[in-house]
Structure 1
Amino acid sequence: MKVKDFYFDLPHELIAQHPLAKRDESRLMVLNKKTGELEHKVFKDIINYLNPGDCLVLNDTRVMPARLYGAKEGSGGKMEFLLLRRYPDDVWETLVKPGKRGKVGARFVFGNGELTGEIVEVLENGNRKIKFFYDGIFEEVLDRLGEMPLPPYIEEKLEDRERYQTVYSKEVGSAAAPTAGLHFTKELLEDIKEKGVKVAFVTLHVGLGTFRPVKAENIEEHEMHSEFYILDEENAAIINSAKQSGGRVIAVGTTSNRTLESIASEDGVVKPLSGYTSIFIYPGYKFKIVDAIITNFHLPESTLIMLISAFSTREIVMNAYKTAVENKYRFFSFGDAMFIN
């Protein structure tokens, strides 16, 4: 299967630049994965498509203010760092700009000097490992000095950083938000629970590989990035109970979906587990546990549109996207939503 099979023409004005005033008033396209039938709703209508006994699985990761701007000791040269992965002893893998200044031994000062860093290793992929020095708690220092790492297609400044977090975000560690969850309000989630729908949480820390283009001509040759996940005992039990009772397991977002499919056994059972996943899901994949998905509208030729196409067929999903463009749905992180069931 070719990457170009997942291309569609997306007018720039349909790329959402800011969140709506109310999270659950974004638009919702409902797609029947077997027939291709489409319905056009508002996101809070999602409750009407959920049944008692179903299990909604949410990713409770929280985005770090992971973009830092530093000055090189001595020359004062400016440098941008994007924190990607934490290692022991306050060492982080970072994406740096401009890379030519990022030599081993170079030291940088951030803010008023309450944070400094030294590059200790250059990795094969061009990223740098940097060791940070500070007093106090790193997360608090980062919260003061860091900026939210919005995706490159969002060109407007975000006034409220919490709008790039889900209302249930808890576990800090992502470089990007699990955006399908941005549509939920606390009130909507309570209403969903009251209807008898189970709610479970996984954690998958979203990496920048989410935005990495597929460079291989044939999608089978693409290598996925690796991301860290956790599913604890309590939430595994909730998911298994729903599945065994005949309820649907509904993934909120591609990150929840990838986590569940990485953990599930062939007979559709999950167990408490943590680790790294680089699972790549595209048409032809047989889902082990996930029955339906709530997701945003994704980039042309991305691994994300390939994943959601696996729920149905490429033709049905691409037709839905054509309809979304014609009806001026909002795309990407702050855009509208789709429910494939």
Structure 2
Amino acid sequence: MRIIAIFKRIMTELRRDKRTLAIVFVAPLLILTLLFAILQNSSSATARLGVYQVDQTIVNQLKKSDNLHLVTLTERKSAKESLKQYNLSAFVTQKENRLTVTYQNADTSLTGIVKSDLAKTVSTEQMAKLKSALAKTTTLTKSDQKMPKFNSGMKINENYIYGKSNSSLFISIAPVMVGFFVFFFVFLISGISLLHERTTGTLNRLLISPVKRFEIVSAYTLAYGALAMVQTVIIVSYVFFVLGVQNQGSFVLVLAINIILALVALSLGLLVSTFAASEFQMIQFIPLLIVPQIFFSGIFNISGMNQIWQWVAKIMPLYYGGEALTNVIKKGASIGGVGLDLAVLLGFVIILLLLNIVGLKRYRRV
């Protein structure tokens, strides 16, 4: 009977705890819906392929692909410069019977699309040459003439700007994961720390003092911002110098992006902590606020998703953080190339800090 009594008490508490019920029943459905929306459209992505002085028969064959958008270049530039200027997934040039392909490899799924379609095109072109050679051979045999040698067809040389042909999954998603870990841990630590001070009464004592709310928020931002900066330097340095992840851009710019992203996480963590009554409730916000952002951070290609989901992605801080980090680390973008992403992230910081100042008003007693 005592077991039944305890069971009934727990069930009653759970029934009254609407947030826990939402986490248990609604959050998994939300995450599965996001996965469904992303993965079912993974095959509809389009890769931009630049071609320079490539045989027209090959170009015509490539144009038939629904997964390629061809960009014909008319002036000679380096492969790296062409990839950056025209935002290409790959760049192809031809010299006699040899194609040289340079892959950006910033998105391995787009690299795979180009590889697959190039292989099909070359194979089709070789089959056409073989049939033509066989037809000529038959004609020459009947006339007792000497048969010519058959050229086996196109060869493909492959180069990679970022990573290699056999790069691991970690190398592919490393830029995004750096930003995610900085964001996640700063969010968690800052939120729980402020919550602890509130539950122990420290925050209440501050609020009944002459200290202004913006001063409290500023002090917490500076303190945990300094901690976030140190954490960012350690994580980024470890990924580049110990794990050996390749960086095409500026190391200082990568640090700056992560520090701004950490400030967003810090502001968000402080804001969420004002609505949580315990550390457990603070943890409950992770599936709702953090996990969905992973899907829009750049790990998955969302270009083929429904337009509504693409709008949803643009209200996620990690969308801009992941995009900026990917552009710098994989594509070598300068600060001008990620200026919009940084501006949006700074906008998030300002808005969240203002909301924090307003949110503390509910705890001031005098």
Whether TM exceeds 0.5 here: the answer is no
Specify which structure has the bigger relative contact order, considering alpha-carbon pairs within 8 angstroms and separated by 6 or more residues: 1
The answer to which structure has the higher helix fraction is 2
TM-score when normalising by structure 1: 0.22
Give the TM-score of the pair, scaled to structure 2.
0.20
- Higher Rg of the two aligned structures: 2
